[in-house]
Amino acid sequence: MRETYISFTKAHCSVLAVEGLRAAIRDYEEKHGLVSEKETTTEEVVIRLLKHVMNPMAGLDIVRTELVTKIEINEGSVRILIGLPADHQFSSAIKEDILEKVESLWNIEEVNVLFTE
C-alpha cells in the first residue's frame, strides 16, 4: 500500500511539474510578445491559471480545494472571490500569487481579489 501511495505521489508531482513548466513558458511568451495568437480571457483561462496558486493549508491548488467561490470577467477586469477571511494568515500570500498569475493576461487591465468570509 505504501509503495502504491509513493508511486502515485511521484506521478502526481511529475504531472504538476510539467503543468507548471508549460504555464511558465506560456507566461514568458505572453509577456514578451512571442505568442502569435492571443487567447481571449475566459473563466476557463482564469481557472487554469488559478490551478497554479497553492493553498498552503492543504498543499493543493486553490481551485481543487474550492477556495475560489466566483470569477467574474467584464471588459478588461477580473474579479475573483476567495472563501477565506481577509485577515487569514495566508490571505495576502494567496492574493499576491493570484495577482501575479492573472495580471499577466494580455487583455486584463484590472484584477480584484476579494475575500468572502
pLDDT tens track for 28-53: 776 776 766 778 999 999 999 999 99
Residue 107 C-beta-side C-alpha neighbours within 13 Å: 12
CA angle 103, 94, 30 (to 5 degrees): 25
d(CA 78, CA 107): 10
CA-nearest of 35, 16, 15 to 27 is 35
Distance from the Cα of residue 11 to its chain's centroid? 21
Q: pLDDT at position 10, please? A: 53
Q: Is the separation of the CB atoms in 86 and 115 below 8 Å?
A: yes
pTM: 0.72
Report the share of the chain in percent with pLDDT over 90: 62
Strands 77-82 and 110-115 come out as parallel
